[in-house]
């Protein structure tokens, strides 16, 4: 028994782990990507965890440059080189960022890189270790998005209440007052005066109904998400539908429409919302166009999004109006209605619909020379977005 203990101690003191032993340990860490680079930043070893995370088999990735796992934006900003320089200066470099897998999907990771020094102090290359934090990142982003939506809903609620209490209540008071006046004085009023007041009542009531319809639609995009149903849409056909519905309105001033979108152009969006977007912007373009003017709808593809332009040759707008166009306060909404422009609540509706469809909107205009509204829509169903937000503070003790 004594001899066995002595032999065991001798074996333990003389045991030197083999390269295969360390390789097995590294390959067992499936949630980590571990690989090495030579002094030219070429990948020369690749763990099974790296294959699981990035999708590259060992024979596919060996010999490729370190840049292959970085996003185009990071490569352009010199991030891979910065990491190496930081590792040489401080002994190691850490960071949290998105990387790109073989299938071009995103992988969010805590990364560690450090120089690989030989037994005689020679520089052999670098070791890169990445830990998968994608699910944690998605959870954090989802929480941030939820908080932002709550803040937006609160702002939206206050805006709706302000519009209801002011922009709807005041005209309704006028309608009631006019009706009461007619009721008390009908017998002694001239027929022409009665007709004038009835025309005013009808116009005001129609305006209020349109305003209420817009408010209901605006609320729908915020509170009734279950009705959101995006599909692939042939854009040319949708534009033609709106042109047809607005033909009578445009013909009053001999305004002509031009649909310059190619017949095979498609977008991924909710059909009802898209119709509302076109109807609002095109009806505003008609109101602000000069007689015998032209309104054109164009589109071009850029970075997997379709940019749609609605262009008129009308009166245009000032820089001050452009800056507040998509964030109108109650006073500007009221002025728009008073001037019979009607752009305020309609453009809020448009902006909300486009954001719901992963799009955005902006305007370019010059007084006296016309206006172009631009908005984007995805060509395909949007994938999970890679965006730069606050970095996750990684707890290395986990």
Model confidence at 397, pLDDT cuts 50, 70, 90, reads: very low
Q: Within 10 A of 148 (CB to CB), how many other CB atoms are there?
A: 10
Contact 73, 97 (CB under 8 A): no
Model confidence at 384, pLDDT cuts 50, 70, 90, reads: very low
pLDDT for res 261: 94
Backbone angles phi and psi of 290, in degrees to 5: -85, 160
How far apart CA 38 and CA 63 sit, in angstroms, is 10
Percent of the chain with pLDDT over 90: 17
Q: Residue 161 to residues 164, 168, 330, 350, 352: CA-CA distances in angstroms?
A: 5, 10, 10, 19, 17
In 317-360, beta strands by DSSP E: none
When pLDDT is averaged across residues 250-263 and rounded to a whole number, the result is 91
How far apart CA 94 and CA 392 sit, in angstroms, is 12
Q: State yes or no: pLDDT of 285 exceeds 70.
A: yes
Backbone angles phi and psi of 160, in degrees to 5: -60, -45
The model's pLDDT over 211-225, given as tens digits with 9 standing for 90+, comes to 677 666 666 655 555
Q: State yes or no: pLDDT of 170 exceeds 70.
A: no
Q: State yes or no: pLDDT of 69 exceeds 80.
A: yes
């Amino acid at each position: 028994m004594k001899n066995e203990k002595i032999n065991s101690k001798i074996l333990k003191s003389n045991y030197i782990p083999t390269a295969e032993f360390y390789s097995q340990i590294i390959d067992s860490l499936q949630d980590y990507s571990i690989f090495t680079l030579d002094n030219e930043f070429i990948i020369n070893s690749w763990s099974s965890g790296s294959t699981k995370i990035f999708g590259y088999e060992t024979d596919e990735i060996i010999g490729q440059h370190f840049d292959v796992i970085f996003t185009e934006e990071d490569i352009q900003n010199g991030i891979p080189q910065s990491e190496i320089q930081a590792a040489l200066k401080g002994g190691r470099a850490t960071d949290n960022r998105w990387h790109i897998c073989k299938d071009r999907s995103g992988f969010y990771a805590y990364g560690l890189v450090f120089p690989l020094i030989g037994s005689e102090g020679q520089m052999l290359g670098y070791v890169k270790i990445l830990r998968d934090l994608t699910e944690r990142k998605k959870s954090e982003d989802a929480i941030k998005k939820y908080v932002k939506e709550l803040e937006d809903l609160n702002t939206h609620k206050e805006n709706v209440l302000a519009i209801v209490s002011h922009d709807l209540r005041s005209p309704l008071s006028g309608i009631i007052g006019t009706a009461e006046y007619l009721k008390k004085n009908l017998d002694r009023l001239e027929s022409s005066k009665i007709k004038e007041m009835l025309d005013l009542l009808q116009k005001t009531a129609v305006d209020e109904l349109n305003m209420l319809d817009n408010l209901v639609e605006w609320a729908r995009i915020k509170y009734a998400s279950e009705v959101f149903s995006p599909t692939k849409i042939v854009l040319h056909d949708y534009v033609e539908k709106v042109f047809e519905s607005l033909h009578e309105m445009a013909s009053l001033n001999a305004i002509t429409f031009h649909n310059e979108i190619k017949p095979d152009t498609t977008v991924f969006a909710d059909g009802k919302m898209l119709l509302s977007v076109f109807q609002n912007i095109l009806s505003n373009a008609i109101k602000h166009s000069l007689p015998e003017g032209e309104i054109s709808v164009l589109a071009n593809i850029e970075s997997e999004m379709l940019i749609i332009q609605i262009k008129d040759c009308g009166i245009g707008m000032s820089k001050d109006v452009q800056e507040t166009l998509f964030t109108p306060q109650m006073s500007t909404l009221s002025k728009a209605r008073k001037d019979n422009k009607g752009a305020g609540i309609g453009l809020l509706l448009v902006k909300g619909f486009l954001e719901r469809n992963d799009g955005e909107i902006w305007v370019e205009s010059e007084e006296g020379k016309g206006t172009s509204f631009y908005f984007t829509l995805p060509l395909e169903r949007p994938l999970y977005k890679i965006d730069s937000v606050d970095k996750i503070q990684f707890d290395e003790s986990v």
